């Protein structure tokens, strides 16, 4: 009876320990939804559960998780009591490929250093032995002169050989030691990179009965993002504009996404979704807030610098001097995905489902994927401000662009099957028309020159009158007619002693407030046209205008 009781007690203790000890399970990444900032990762795991309470460790999770976003789907017989997250720094497979490569090279160099050190020790011992034999031979034995000369030559040559070998081996040791120090420093730097470190989700669960349960785990990780970029293609100015919608996806979650179902969403789950409220604004006297004014000015400067990158809308085309083409390539792995991507829309954002399983390494490098292609009707026209740039810029004007769900991003421009440069798409314009820059067209020649005989200074009493005349010559070298929006300007006075008179504008639309002159021209194939502008400034002769 006593033996039965002890056996039962032992069994119960084993069951208790088995139930209380945390058990580890690997998970499989099934799908990922990437947002503009962050990503939702969805895993599956097969878990064997005993009846009662258990602690479960789920491996192969992202290295950075928003714990409040963790959701676990389990059968009805299982209850989740608690969830927590931790990083797993101990698993050897978490070492990055770069770390492993340097670590292996370090071991090889250390072995080579050991061989060099062994050779040096042997040479130094031989030198000690040689010195001892030299002393014994010289003190305890008598030798004649001829033998003494032979012995002296032998010792001299042998010592010289050994000392030179020792010197060379010490030099080799110094080189290896420096290499080892550099590699150890590199390993230390690589060890700070935790992109190869995965995470763990620890669950406290309670099961009503033993079972093999399927767990579905989802969570948000901030270490992923995607940016939109585009290819703008046009065969000629009479064909529709093809817009190829692409994405650069980056991630450093610590997990290599292998054969996962990928979706890209225009939403941002990390953004605060609470609507703002206004409270009463009470004024009070005080000292001027100099720091606030500085910050306000910095903010305004930043906004202005951002606005210069955006494409022009209709108002911009009337007032802005020129489009600045953006330079530089987008680095990264270029991967072509199916173009017929399913696009889903709801009231807040749009998402794109990639049809094929996708691979994206956890290395923070951009991976390119094509999302969708549009063939959009466009009105093509040319735009030029020869005072600043003696080139004509092709503009594509499109309407009803809201349905395209475009995001701000760079665009590669391919016109007439040739790459012509970069532009920037800003769909956040407030107008119903979006103007896209298609780059420069060198077949339209534009030259602006000062007409010397009609430019000069005249003195009238206490005043001087300065006259400027410019001639703009245009030539359409294309095989078809083009519409060209041409702009120039004359100065605007800011002082009552300064009088500005526009003498000639050749039929331009004049904006007297800004001094901008606009011509809407239609140039036939091979045609040339000349436009003249002339203006005069009268001001006191004892003054100078610094920016004239």
Distance (Å, whole) CA 76 – CA 138: 98
Residue 134: inside a domain? yes
**Residue 30: per-residue pLDDT:** 94
Residue 177: inside a domain? yes
| Residue 290 phi, psi (nearest 5) | -65, -45
> Would you place residue 448 in the very low, low, confident or very high pLDDT band (cuts 50, 70, 90)?
very high
In this predicted model, which residue has the larger pLDDT, 188 or 162? 162
Residue 496: inside a domain? yes
Is the pLDDT at 224 greater than 90, yes or no? yes
Note the pLDDT tens digit of each residue in 225-237. 999 999 989 888 8
Residue 40: inside a domain? no
Query: 18-22, 118-122, 448-452 — which one is most confidently predicted on average?
Result: 448-452
Instruction: Share the mean pLDDT of the chain.
Output: 79
% of the chain beyond a pLDDT of 70? 78
Lowest model confidence (mean pLDDT) among 9-23, 69-83, 252-266, 377-391: 9-23
Residue 358: inside a domain? no
Distance (Å, whole) CA 409 – CA 416: 22
Quick one: average pLDDT of 35-46? 94
Of 167, 191, 215, the domain-final residue: 191
Of 191, 210, 231, the domain-final residue: 191
Residue 329: inside a domain? no
Residue 170: inside a domain? yes
Distance (Å, whole) CA 461 – CA 371: 71
Residue 453: inside a domain? yes
Euclidean distance between the first and the last CA atom of the chain, given in angstroms as a whole number: 114
Quick check: helix, strand or coil at residue 74?
coil
Global pTM value: 0.58
Quick one: average pLDDT of 490-514? 91
In this predicted model, which residue has the larger pLDDT, 236 or 472? 472
Note the pLDDT tens digit of each residue in 309-351. 334 444 444 444 333 332 333 333 344 444 448 655 554 467 8
**Residue 350: per-residue pLDDT:** 75
Instruction: Report the CATH number at residue 465.
Output: 2.60.40
Other beta carbons within 10 angstroms of residue 458's beta carbon come to 11
Which structural domain, as residue segments, surrounds residue 146?
Answer: 97-191
Quick one: average pLDDT of 487-516? 92
Of 168, 191, 214, the domain-final residue: 191
Total domains present in the chain: 2
């Amino acid at each position: 009876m006593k033996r039965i009781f002890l056996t039962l007690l032992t069994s119960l203790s084993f069951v208790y320990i088995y139930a209380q000890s945390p058990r580890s399970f690997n998970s499989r990444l099934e799908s990922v939804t990437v947002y503009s900032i962050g990503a939702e990762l969805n895993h599956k795991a097969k878990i064997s559960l005993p009846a009662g309470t258990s602690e479960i460790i789920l491996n192969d999770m992202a290295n950075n998780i928003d714990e409040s976003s963790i959701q676990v789907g389990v059968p009805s017989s299982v209850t989740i009591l608690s969830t927590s997250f931790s990083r797993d720094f101990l698993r050897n497979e978490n070492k990055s490929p770069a770390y492993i490569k340097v670590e292996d090279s370090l071991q090889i160099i250390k072995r080579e250093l050991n061989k060099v050190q062994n050779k040096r020790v042997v040479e130094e011992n031989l030198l000690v032995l040689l010195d001892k034999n030299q002393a014994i031979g010289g003190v305890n034995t008598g030798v004649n002169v001829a033998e003494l000369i032979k012995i002296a030559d032998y010792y001299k040559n042998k010592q010289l050989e050994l000392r030179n070998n020792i010197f060379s081996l010490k030099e080799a040791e110094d080189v290896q030691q420096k290499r080892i120090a550099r590699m150890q420093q590199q390993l230390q730097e690589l060890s700070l990179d935790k992109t190869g470190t995965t995470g763990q989700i620890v669950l406290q669960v309670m099961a009503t009965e033993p079972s093999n349960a399927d767990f579905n785990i989802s969570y948000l990780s901030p270490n992923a993002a995607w940016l939109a970029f585009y290819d703008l293609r046009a065969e000629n100015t009479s064909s529709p504009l093809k817009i190829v919608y692409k994405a650069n996806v980056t991630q450093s979650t610590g997990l290599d996404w292998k054969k996962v179902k990928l979706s890209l969403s225009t939403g941002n789950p990390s953004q605060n979704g609470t609507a703002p409220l206004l409270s009463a604004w009470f004024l009070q006297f005080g000292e001027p807030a100099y720091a606030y004014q500085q910050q306000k000015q910095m903010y305004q400067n930043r906004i202005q610098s951002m606005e210069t990158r955006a494409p022009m809308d209709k108002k911009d085309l009337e007032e802005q001097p020129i489009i600045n083409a953006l330079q530089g390539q987008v680095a990264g792995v270029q991967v072509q995905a199916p173009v017929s991507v399913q696009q889903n829309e709801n009231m807040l954002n749009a998402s794109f489902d990639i049809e094929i399983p996708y691979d994206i390494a956890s290395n923070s490098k951009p991976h390119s994927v094509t999302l969708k292609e549009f063939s959009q009707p466009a009105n093509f026209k040319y735009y030029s401000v020869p005072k600043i740039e003696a080139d004509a810029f092709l503009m594509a004007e499109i309407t009803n662009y809201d349905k395209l769900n475009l995001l701000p991003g760079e665009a590669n421009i391919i016109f007439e099957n040739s790459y012509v440069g970069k532009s920037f798409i800003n769909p956040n314009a407030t107008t119903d028309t979006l103007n896209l820059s298609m780059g420069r067209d060198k077949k339209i020649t534009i030259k602006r020159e000062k007409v010397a005989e009609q430019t000069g200074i005249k003195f009238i009493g206490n005043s001087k009158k300065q006259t400027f005349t410019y001639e703009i010559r245009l030539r359409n070298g294309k095989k078809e007619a083009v519409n060209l929006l041409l702009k120039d300007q004359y100065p605007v006075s800011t002082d009552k002693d300064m009088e500005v008179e526009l003498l000639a504008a050749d039929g331009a639309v004049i904006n007297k407030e800004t001094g901008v002159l606009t011509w809407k021209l239609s140039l036939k194939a091979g045609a040339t046209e000349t436009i003249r502008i002339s203006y005069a400034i009268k001001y006191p002769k004892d003054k100078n205008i610094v920016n004239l």
